């Protein structure tokens, strides 16, 4: 999955012109890993399955809120 972000300021509502690759999957230790690579920097983030469930719920809630904004 590749995401392109544009802009220079930090924050949720500011875009950047950076491409990043994101992979999500289970590890051999029973964790859920979100792996992000951009400009040669690799960021592996491991979560307990329960934490991953909470993150998934937050992403779904954000998607729902974004759809509501887009409809305006």
Write down the domain spans for the chain: 2-71
pLDDT in tens, 1-60: 555 555 455 677 777 778 899 999 999 999 999 999 999 999 999 999 999 999 999 999
7 vs 70, residue with greater confidence: 70
pLDDT in the model for residue 47: 98
**pLDDT at residue 72 is higher than 90:** no
pLDDT in the model for residue 60: 97
Give the other-Cβ count within 10 Å of 32's Cβ: 19
pLDDT in the model for residue 6: 53
């Amino acid at each position: 999955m590749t995401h392109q972000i544009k802009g220079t300021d930090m924050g949720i509502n500011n875009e950047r012109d950076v491409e990043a690759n994101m992979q999500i999957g289970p590890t051999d230790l029973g964790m859920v890993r979100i792996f992000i690579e951009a400009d040669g920097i690799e960021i592996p983030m491991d979560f307990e399955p329960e934490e991953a469930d909470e993150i998934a719920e937050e992403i779904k809630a954000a998607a729902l809120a974004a759809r509501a904004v887009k409809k305006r």
